[in-house]
Chains A and B, each alone.
Chain A
Amino acid sequence: MKMIVVFEKTPRLRHIGHLDLMRAMQRALRRSGLPLKYSQGFNPHILLTFAAPLSVGMPGKREIMEVPIEGEMTGEAFLEKLRPALPPELPCLWARPVDDRHSAPMAQLAAALYEAELDETPSGLSDAVTAFLAQEEIPALRKTKTGLKPCDIRPMIYDLSLNSGKLRMCLALCEKATCKPDLLLSSLFEFAKLPRPHAIVTRTQMFGKKDGAFYPLEEM
């Protein structure tokens, strides 16, 4: 069976890159003594997939990985073993066993919620957010493998709100369409003609989509 695991990448570890985080999780799983599955080949490694890589510099409140294991086990039993194998800066929060055929979180991913903690809130930003969202089209330049490509990011913004210095952004995150929070922030501040303040952006939740509605990815 497989375990869907929710963990936190705390702000202190935000500078750890995706591959380093993968390796850290591999080693944590090895320390845990859990019945893991290994890949074949000369350098076998633990089978493990993350729902979506997290950018360097970004903390994640509810990150998701999928861990195939041998045999049956409850989420609580799994957590009990994994918890002491992780440093306090990288705690696991929740786990849920699913069938091997259960579609992978990576495949079900549709959107993510981000929170940008602005060092200062320029006056007029609140109105600018409203006006920004009222646009029918938001042209932007998206970075792709083949260079900068013009695109419309309006359909990829599911929600945007400002609340006591925090910008909450719900943005598309899937294979077909992804809007990175950085792109949204630069578009927004350019549109508002305001200086962009320094901000730490945290990914707080990931979502899947079913019958037109969003659900927390870990519960899908």
Chain B
Amino acid sequence: MNEQENKRLEELLETVQKPARYIGGEMNAVRKDWNGVRCTFGFCFADTYEIGMSHLGMKILYYLINQRPDALCERLFMPDADMADKMRDAGVPLFSLESRAALNEFDIIGFTLQYEMSYTNILEMLDLGRVPIRREDRSDQDTIVVAGGPCAFNPEPLAPFIDAFMIGDGEDVMHELIDVIRNGREAGLSRMDILKNLAKLEGVYVPALYDVEYNEDGTLKSFSPNDPAAPAKVKKRVVKDLSGAVYPEAIPVPYTEIVHDRMVLEIMRGCTRGCRFCQAGMLYRPVRERSMERLLELADKLQASTGYEEMSLSSLSSGDFTCLPQLIQALMDRYKDKRVSVSLPSMRIDNIVKQSLEETQQVKKSGLTLAPEAGTQRLRDVINKGVTEEDLIRSVTDAFECGWSTVKLYFMMGLPTETDEDLQGIGDLAKKVVDAFYRVPKEKRAKMGVKVTASASVFVPKPFTPFQWAAQDTIDMVHEKQAKLRQYLKLKNVNFNWHESELSMLEACVSRGDRRMGEVIYAAWKRGCRLDSWNEHFKFDQWMGAFQDCGLSPAFYAYRERPYDELLPWAFVDAGVSMDYLKKENEKAKRVETTRDCRHGCNGCGLNTWGVCDWVKNPPLKDKPQTAAPLAD
């Protein structure tokens, strides 16, 4: 950014809301000399500072890239609407927080894709940052735009805008990607040649090198590479040894309050519970745990470098971490004097922990969050959520006895095979939780009484899950069910929250979209859509207009059940979990059959042929009885 733009930005900051999120300068933000490095990486998060700064993946990669002496990484976030408009009016480009470099000054810019409904923000950021939005409009001099994260497993809806996708664990491929781009730039290679070199890396997908054809009915006819550099299948990258992997020892500590303002220890990656709706559970397989030794080392370093007063543990299912009670005990012992509180994952409180809880008050008694997901045992079996009502009641009773008094219950509506009985079950369950509170003796339970909040989100079928072929409920069906649920949840001490069904429908369209969905996203952005996941900015009508502009129907993407023999837009991605396994699971769901947690024995999900899953040969819970799934995390 030049002198003048900088001056205009300073003036802008005096007139926008929450200017502190645009200034950077945090402790542990990395400031490197641009002249001292060979490659500059602009890390983009397609949501506001408060959300992006709470995100772990960004912190890992920011740290990893900045460890390289030859490269630097700076952060860019989506400005809020007032700021975006004012920047455009004043001619101030999207800029990095560290050195206020414009987006288009970076050699590489990388987006992390966390949520489909942030995709219009990507276009807005590219536009504000003066980077041609469509990849085919970019010249050899233009920055190279890459993307990764969970949503990259179906990259097609963003194929018109992103030069290369990284699929799988980002820290495994990032160095190779930077090397290829840096070397290519230094050798003066054309953009296309650099992209072809990228396509040779395992886990990298370069959409320009693939052609797509459609059938008359709109389904995919063929999807194939048009260049020898491009593989027919793109295999996800996997970090094999999590303890040996890079993990940040220092993270920027924001001045303003963000969503999760604390240090986070990622204790493991992956989950083997096998819930059939859960995309993360399939994408992040196999399960890899960090060693206790490494975790405690990281905890000490993070505590010393951030000064945070709170630490939380992160993973998809922390209750399953082999040494969880020991870890929590060790952390609490260490941090008692340092006045650091430890946020406990879910509710599998072991007795040891329960005792220290009472002793030290070192654990925050914030609300308790549980996710039974469905209201009846039958439906929980369909989705393979191995939780019984008994588990749930025992967990909340435990918590009530420790003084907890607010409970959030998460449910999904519109799950495959759902009936009215399942909706009634949600009401019953909420009622039983309230009753459990009043069964706890008065002197043991909290004085203020119990508060139960039941939230029902709308089920969104996702790629690489056993339900990837399923139809989503129509908006009308959802409204009808929400009305019923309101009835069933008209209970004392119970609140009911529901989600925008329109947003969930669009999420279903985009998450299982093909390359043409990119045109819908583009048209929606042209019609003024951005910050879609913020209620006050969501413009459903404009999205519907965008579908019309492109001659596509949302029903085709959201409401249609796919036959098994249909070519799916993401089928060229090899996520490790095989399509055959997903089909098998889908069939089992129809028969209301559950599948065991594979820590009791390998279920042959597909990763067993990759040589990356330790549990194929040595399942840690072999011959042990099955335990209830954690209720939440």
Residues B27 and A86 in contact, CB atoms below 8 Å apart: yes
Given contacts A20-B255, A44-B339, A57-B14, contact A28 B307 (CB under 8 A): yes
Residue of B nearest to A28 (CB): B307
- Which of A8-16, A103-111, A122-130 lines the interface with chain B? A8-16
B308: A residues at CB distance < 8 A: 27, 30
Q: Report B289-306 residues with CB < 8 Å from chain A CB.
A: 304-306
Q: Does B19 belong to the interface (CB within 8 Å)?
A: yes
Q: Does B209 belong to the interface (CB within 8 Å)?
A: no
| Most B C-beta atoms less than 10 A away, residue of A30, A33, A38, A42 | A30
> Which of B11, B24, B27 makes the CB contact (< 8 A) with A27?
B27
A90: B residues at CB distance < 8 A: 25
Residues A30 and B20 in contact, CB atoms below 8 Å apart: no
Given contacts A27-B306, A31-B307, contact A13 B27 (CB under 8 A): no
Residue-wise, chain A 64-99 has the 8 Å CB interface mask toward B (1 for contact) of: 000000000000000000000111111000000000
> Which of B11, B19, B29 makes the CB contact (< 8 A) with A87?
B29
Residue of B nearest to A36 (CB): B339
User: Bound state CA distance, A28 and B361, in angstroms?
Assistant: 24
Residues A87 and B307 in contact, CB atoms below 8 Å apart: no
A12: B residues at CB distance < 8 A: 23-25
Residues A31 and B304 in contact, CB atoms below 8 Å apart: yes
Q: Does B256 belong to the interface (CB within 8 Å)?
A: yes
A15: B residues at CB distance < 8 A: 13, 19-20, 23
B484: A residues at CB distance < 8 A: none
B257: A residues at CB distance < 8 A: 20
User: Bound state CA distance, A13 and B308, in angstroms?
Assistant: 20
Give min CB distance, B118 to chain A, whole Å.
Answer: 25
> Which of A13, A33, A85, A198 makes the CB contact (< 8 A) with B23?
A13
Residues A88 and B14 in contact, CB atoms below 8 Å apart: no
Q: Does A51 belong to the interface (CB within 8 Å)?
A: no
Tell me the interface secondary structure of chain B in the complex.
loop
User: Bound state CA distance, A17 and B257, in angstroms?
Assistant: 11
Q: Does A24 belong to the interface (CB within 8 Å)?
A: yes
Give min CB distance, B259 to chain A, whole Å.
Answer: 15
Q: Does B26 belong to the interface (CB within 8 Å)?
A: yes
Q: Does B260 belong to the interface (CB within 8 Å)?
A: no
B309: A residues at CB distance < 8 A: 27, 30
Residue-wise, chain B 330-346 has the 8 Å CB interface mask toward A (1 for contact) of: 00000000110000000
Give min CB distance, B217 to chain A, whole Å.
Answer: 55
Q: Does B31 belong to the interface (CB within 8 Å)?
A: yes
User: Bound state CA distance, A57 and B10, in angstroms?
Assistant: 10
Q: Does B429 belong to the interface (CB within 8 Å)?
A: no
User: Bound state CA distance, A197 and B23, in angstroms?
Assistant: 24
Residue-wise, chain A 181-197 has the 8 Å CB interface mask toward B (1 for contact) of: 00000000000000000
User: Bound state CA distance, A21 and B27, in angstroms?
Assistant: 12
Q: Does B282 belong to the interface (CB within 8 Å)?
A: no
User: Bound state CA distance, A82 and B14, in angstroms?
Assistant: 30
A87: B residues at CB distance < 8 A: 25-29
Q: Report B139-192 residues with CB < 8 Å from chain A CB.
A: none
Given contacts A15-B13, A85-B307, contact A27 B25 (CB under 8 A): no
Residues B305 and A31 in contact, CB atoms below 8 Å apart: yes
Residues A13 and B25 in contact, CB atoms below 8 Å apart: yes
Residue of B nearest to A20 (CB): B255
B26: A residues at CB distance < 8 A: 87
Residue of B nearest to A87 (CB): B27
B13: A residues at CB distance < 8 A: 15
Q: Does B265 belong to the interface (CB within 8 Å)?
A: no
A5: B residues at CB distance < 8 A: none
User: Bound state CA distance, A21 and B256, in angstroms?
Assistant: 9
Residues A38 and B361 in contact, CB atoms below 8 Å apart: no
Residues A88 and B31 in contact, CB atoms below 8 Å apart: yes
Residues A16 and B255 in contact, CB atoms below 8 Å apart: yes
A17: B residues at CB distance < 8 A: 20
Q: Does A179 belong to the interface (CB within 8 Å)?
A: no
Q: Does A29 belong to the interface (CB within 8 Å)?
A: yes
Residues A42 and B361 in contact, CB atoms below 8 Å apart: yes
Give min CB distance, B503 to chain A, whole Å.
Answer: 32
Residues A24 and B255 in contact, CB atoms below 8 Å apart: yes
Q: Does B616 belong to the interface (CB within 8 Å)?
A: no
User: Bound state CA distance, A44 and B338, in angstroms?
Assistant: 10
Give min CB distance, B17 to chain A, whole Å.
Answer: 11
Residues B256 and A31 in contact, CB atoms below 8 Å apart: no
B27: A residues at CB distance < 8 A: 24, 27-28, 31, 85-87
B195: A residues at CB distance < 8 A: none
Q: Report B40-67 residues with CB < 8 Å from chain A CB.
A: none
User: Bound state CA distance, A86 and B26, in angstroms?
Assistant: 9
Residues B255 and A30 in contact, CB atoms below 8 Å apart: no
Q: Does B489 belong to the interface (CB within 8 Å)?
A: no
User: Bound state CA distance, A198 and B10, in angstroms?
Assistant: 11
Q: Does B460 belong to the interface (CB within 8 Å)?
A: no
Q: Report A14-70 residues with CB < 8 Å from chain B CB.
A: 15-17, 20-21, 23-24, 26-31, 33, 38, 42, 44, 57
A198: B residues at CB distance < 8 A: 11
Give min CB distance, A205 to chain B, whole Å.
Answer: 23
B14: A residues at CB distance < 8 A: 57
B24: A residues at CB distance < 8 A: 12
B382: A residues at CB distance < 8 A: none
User: Bound state CA distance, A20 and B307, in angstroms?
Assistant: 14
Give min CB distance, A88 to chain B, whole Å.
Answer: 7
A42: B residues at CB distance < 8 A: 361
Residue of A nearest to B100 (CB): A12
Residue of A nearest to B361 (CB): A42
A31: B residues at CB distance < 8 A: 27, 304-307
Q: Does B253 belong to the interface (CB within 8 Å)?
A: yes
**A-B CB proximity, top 5 nearest:** A27-B307, A30-B307, A89-B25, A31-B307, A15-B19
Interface residues of B (CB under 8 A from A): 11, 13-14, 19-20, 23-29, 31, 253, 255-257, 304-309, 338-339, 361
> What are 8 A-B interface contacts by the 8 Å CB criterion?
A15-B23, A20-B256, A27-B306, A27-B309, A31-B304, A42-B361, A87-B26, A87-B28
**Beyond A28-B307, A198-B11, 20 extra complex contacts between A and B, CB < 8 Å:** A10-B25, A12-B24, A13-B23, A15-B19, A16-B20, A16-B23, A16-B255, A17-B20, A20-B255, A20-B257, A21-B255, A27-B27, A27-B253, A31-B307, A33-B304, A42-B361, A85-B307, A87-B29, A88-B31, A89-B25
